[in-house]
Amino acid sequence: MTSDDLERQSVTLLQELIRFDTVNPPGNERAAIEHLERYLSEAGFDTEILAAEPERPNLVATLDGQGDGPVLVLLGHVDTVLADASEWRHDPWSGDEADGFIWGRGALDMKNQVATEAVAAASLAGQGWRPASGALKLVFVADEETGGDVGAHWLTDTHPDKVRCDFLLNEGAGEVFEYGGRRRYGVCCGEKGIFRFNVTALGTAGHASMPRLGDNALLKLAPVLNALAHQPESFDLTEAPAAMLRVLGEDPGDLSAAMMHIEAEEPRLRTLVEPMLGVTLTPTMASASSKMNVIPSRAQVRIDCRVPPGLGEDAVWRRIHQVLGEPTDQLRIDFTEQVVGNSSSPESVMMTAIE
Ligand SMILES: [Zn+2]
């Protein structure tokens, strides 16, 4: 099969998938999943449909090799976010091809990848190709956009043996960018954790007409916001960003210099790369008095904090101390979310294949 044939087949399958309305909620992914099941079983895959809810099934399609070996999963979801047809030039479920583009909700996230993976794997399988050992699995799931309770979460909780794997390729990353005169493709092998917290200032309420009467909690947030606006540089370098810097020709041993160099070459890239190198503290919401004429006894700013994979509360506190100093009786810090990010090593057989 020529690459033109593969492209044409991928476009056709993408258009077919777009025409199934799988907006989640409610999802209703059954028809799309069954369509993929037919397509892959005709190509020689062993297929299995597994569902927590009848209208929202998941597909596991397996091509076994001879004997034990590593299992590679290509993971995709067939549900999409909402679409308001009145805001679209082409119907979001038409799959129309116009001006060299395929139109439709899910064309980018991520029926395109599902279609191309299915076509690539089916064409290999149809030609009689089998993995030398282990297995290739295509796992296409429902319910990614709203948390995976009947999709990936349910599948791994309920049927771990059917989806256990050594390597897994999912959506995200892969965007092309230019650096140092060369085309580069990003590979995402980790995700930062989230440690959101509130900074609460305490004071004494009073009437706004007599400012000295109370102890205005809102004013105590001024130095906090000022410190957040002028954060000193600080890094917590982890394995994946270090590998990326090396590939870009930068020295992970001197991150300040690397950032300055990237900034000089391509300022937009610094904006993307710098947050990968450490804990970020970003104030996003604030509140104080609920009445115009009342001096607040309490004022709060909420901080969206992201932490390199593998690092936890210790790293967050180090950064808080550095930027905001010690909490006090009048200035409290409380975490509202704590999730440690996870990552895979950027050195693996799969990474070598991707390179
Ligand atoms: Zn997606």
Query: Tens digit of pLDDT for each residue in 35-73?
Result: 999 999 999 999 999 999 999 999 999 999 999 999 999
Cα torsion at 193, 232, 324, 237 (round to 10°)?
30
Query: Tens digit of pLDDT for each residue in 119-167?
Result: 999 999 999 999 999 999 999 999 999 989 999 999 999 999 999 999 9
Dist. CA 110 → ligand 1 center (Å)? 5
Dist. CA 56 → ligand 1 center (Å)? 17
| Residue 79 a catalytic site member | yes
Q: How confident is the model at residue 175 (pLDDT cuts 50, 70, 90)?
A: confident
Catalytic residue among 21, 29, 79, 117: 79
| Residue 144 a catalytic site member | yes
Query: Tens digit of pLDDT for each residue in 105-115?
Result: 999 999 999 99
Q: Is the pLDDT of residue 173 over 90?
A: no
Dist. CA 313 → ligand 1 center (Å)? 29
Dist. CA 314 → ligand 1 center (Å)? 32
Q: Which pLDDT does position 1 carry in this prediction?
A: 80
User: Mean of the per-residue pLDDT values for the chain?
Assistant: 96
244 vs 41: CA distance, rounded Å = 39
Could you tell me the two tokens for 135? 């297995």
Dist. CA 216 → ligand 1 center (Å)? 45
Dist. CA 185 → ligand 1 center (Å)? 19
Q: Is the pLDDT of residue 93 over 90?
A: yes
The answer to whether 282 and 175 are in contact (CB under 8 A) is no
Catalytic residue among 37, 144, 145, 274: 144
Dist. CA 106 → ligand 1 center (Å)? 8
Q: Which pLDDT does position 179 carry in this prediction?
A: 92
Q: Which pLDDT does position 57 carry in this prediction?
A: 98
The answer to whether 343 and 191 are in contact (CB under 8 A) is yes
Q: Which pLDDT does position 216 carry in this prediction?
A: 97
Q: What is the pTM of this model?
A: 0.84
Query: Tens digit of pLDDT for each residue in 177-212?
Result: 899 899 999 999 999 999 999 999 999 999 999 999
* Residues 6 or more apart in contact with residue 86 via CB below 8 angstroms: none
Dist. CA 7 → ligand 1 center (Å)? 21
The answer to whether 188 and 329 are in contact (CB under 8 A) is no
Q: Which pLDDT does position 305 carry in this prediction?
A: 98
Q: Which pLDDT does position 38 carry in this prediction?
A: 98
The answer to whether 289 and 296 are in contact (CB under 8 A) is yes
Q: Which pLDDT does position 46 carry in this prediction?
A: 98
52 vs 54: CA distance, rounded Å = 7
**ω into residue 26 within 30 of 0, thus cis?**
yes
Dist. CA 140 → ligand 1 center (Å)? 12
Dist. CA 30 → ligand 1 center (Å)? 18
